Amino acid sequence: MRDTTIAVLIPVYNESQTIAKVIDDFARELPQATIYVYDNNSSDGSAAIAAEQGAVVRKETRQGKGNVVRQMFREIDADYYVMVDGDDTYPAEAVHSLLEPLWTGEADMVIGDRLSNFTYHRENKRAFHSFGNNLVRKLIQLIYGVRITDVLTGYRAFSRLYVKACPILSRGFEIETELTIHSIDKNWRICEVPIDYRDRPEGSVSKLSTFGDGFKVLLKILSLFKDYRPLVLFAIIACVLLLVGIIVGITVIVDYLNTGLVARFPSAILAVGLVFSGLLCLTSGLILDTTVKSWRKHYELTVTHDYAAQQRYQQGRSAQQRYQQGRSAQDTVERTDARQRSVDKTQER
């Protein structure tokens, strides 16, 4: 894989204490890679430190990790991408394990799993974080039927095709949730690789709000549930409305059968309204489901076209490299022959 290009993407917000070590570690493990640091309005000199360490530093003024990742994916072109936080909680030596499934074609996105070996539970000292990780994981498993061990990890590797075909709408820390759910919904190949997590060094402060950002993650899950599985969501709402409407309407129907009169007009109106609302929700779900399936077909065709274009590009580059190698070998032979002829002429004299 010497001829491939690798980009290490590091979003940074006030990580002056750790960013130098993160850059040095990845430069050591991937000397052929280009390390990009995107500074998100840091006020502690993180950008200057990153530049001194040899990283390519760019600035993203829109606050939020999702905004940073979106701009990274737009601007940077490489064969493979590694995304890692700048807080020195993820081991650089594990990057080869993350890239291996991409090189062998087994995955389009590789997740650095902190949870299966329990290092996150041992190292993380913030209350409710483990609970939040488990809650998010179980919700995604319940909604999408796919088991992902670590949904919220910030250590990931991607193929070029995945990065260029991934729409990012998140603005903040819910970006990891969006990447995971997008991969599940669009049938991208996902692989999880266990890594050893370590807590932030003393004096380094997390920017993640346990409850504020946790609530945003839950809202993102529900929002993407609506976008990707509208029929299921609206069918659940329709069933609830229909059930309540039937329960309320039973008393009205029983009274009418016994007396021939509708004595409870408010209950009757409420029951009819609930039933019609339920039917309307079900109809909306069917319409939206058709729209989503149509969009998914269009997305698949677009990805297929991009995949074919990438294959042609790689084949063309391989052919060019073979030509250059053959030309270099031919030049070497010609120079050797020329030197030999020169030696022969000298000897004849």
Is there a single domain that holds both residue 82 and residue 200?
A: yes
Is there a single domain that holds both residue 126 and residue 262?
A: no
Any idea what the Cα angle at residue 163 is, between residues 160 and 164, rounded to 5°?
85
pTM above 0.85, yes or no: no
For tokens 């998914």, what's the residue? 296
pLDDT at 158: 97
Whole-number Å distance between alpha carbons of 1 and 159: 14
Average pLDDT, the chain: 88
Is there a single domain that holds both residue 158 and residue 303?
A: no
Q: How many CB atoms lie within 10 A of CB 299?
A: 14
Residue 68 lies in a domain: yes
**Cβ-contact 163, 69 below 8 angstroms:** no
Residue 349 in this model has a pLDDT that exceeds 80? no
Residue 333 lies in a domain: no
Is there a single domain that holds both residue 149 and residue 280?
A: no
Supply 254's token pair: 């029983």
For residues 16-54, one letter each, b for 16 or more C-beta atoms within 10 angstroms of the residue's C-beta and e for the rest, the string is bbbbbebbebbbebbeebebbbbbbebeeebbebbeebe
Supply 225's token pair: 């549930």
Q: Residue 156's beta-bridge partner residues?
A: 83, 111
End-to-end C-alpha distance for the chain, whole angstroms: 51
Is there a single domain that holds both residue 143 and residue 270?
A: no
Is there a single domain that holds both residue 195 and residue 263?
A: no
Dmax (CA) of the chain:
133
Instruction: Give residue-wise pLDDT tens across range 295-331.
Output: 999 999 888 888 888 777 666 666 565 656 666 656 6
Supply 70's token pair: 């979106």
Instruction: Give residue-wise pLDDT tens across range 56-80.
Output: 999 999 999 999 999 999 999 999 9
pLDDT at 13: 95
Residue 342 in this model has a pLDDT that exceeds 70? no
The boundaries of the domain holding residue 32 are: 6-226
Residue 1 lies in a domain: no
* Range 251-271 average pLDDT: 85
Supply 93's token pair: 């030596």
Q: Residue 38's beta-bridge partner residues?
A: 11, 58
The domain that contains 38 carries what CATH number? 3.90.550.10
Is there a single domain that holds both residue 46 and residue 163?
A: yes
Residue 130 in this model has a pLDDT that exceeds 80? no
Residue 59 lies in a domain: yes
Whole-number Å distance between alpha carbons of 24 and 27: 5
Is there a single domain that holds both residue 17 and residue 163?
A: yes
Residue 280 lies in a domain: yes
Number of domains forming the structure of the chain: 2
Whole-number Å distance between alpha carbons of 73 and 69: 6
Residue 187 lies in a domain: yes
135-139, 183-187, 272-276, 306-310: least confident range? 306-310
Q: How many CB atoms lie within 10 A of CB 67?
A: 20
